[in-house]
Chain A
Amino acid sequence: DVKVTQSSRYLVKRTGEKVFLECVQDMDHENMFWYRQDPGLGLRLIYFSYDVKMKEKGDIPEGYSVSREKKERFSLILESASTNQTSMYLCASSLDPLAGRKNNEQFFGPGTRLTVL
């Protein structure tokens, strides 16, 4: 079974703190993604990575950065947490769809519910 794990299920931080969310996948997937999920807005893409050290901005990258030093690990960083970053954060991974791989559905971690006070 594909497994995507996230470092914390629940996290409470204070405004201005630097926050690290870690994601690890064990299926040798090329692509990894960070989303935030808010009621009524669905999933919105923050950043994605299609290879080690490669990253691209998604639809809402402001206030976030990412790091992918190893293939299995993709980190999301909130440089200075703000209350409007209170949300559920979901990590996902997939095989590279542009490499002709038909099984490119995404596999999701359990999510991290972040509260910024």
Chain B
Amino acid sequence: DAKTTQPPSMDCAEGRAANLPCNHSTISGNEYVYWYRQIHSQGPQYIIHGLKNNETNEMASLIITEDRKSSTLILPHATLRDTAVYYCIVIGTDSWGKLQFGAGTQVVVTP
């Protein structure tokens, strides 16, 4: 599976949009981009995933560049409850669901 690079931390003001970048320059054609988050001392929570098109759900939007070498997770209106570690994971269909978590980005939403 392709590796990902994320900034170790970022702060965001409550009510503002949080834009979380992820680089995955070695991604291959059959690999998806997944985002999970982990609130302190809890199990990870699925956020969104995509292949090449931009995706949106009730939690977030995922913007994938045309060359698929990077993506951005957007939390449109950050709340204090969005404070968590966010993981960007690239996984292919031949990985049988095995998620390899990197260090992620610690997002702190401040009032």
A and B assemble together: no
Q: Which residues of B contact A (CB under 8 A)?
A: none
Q: Which residues of A contact B (CB under 8 A)?
A: none
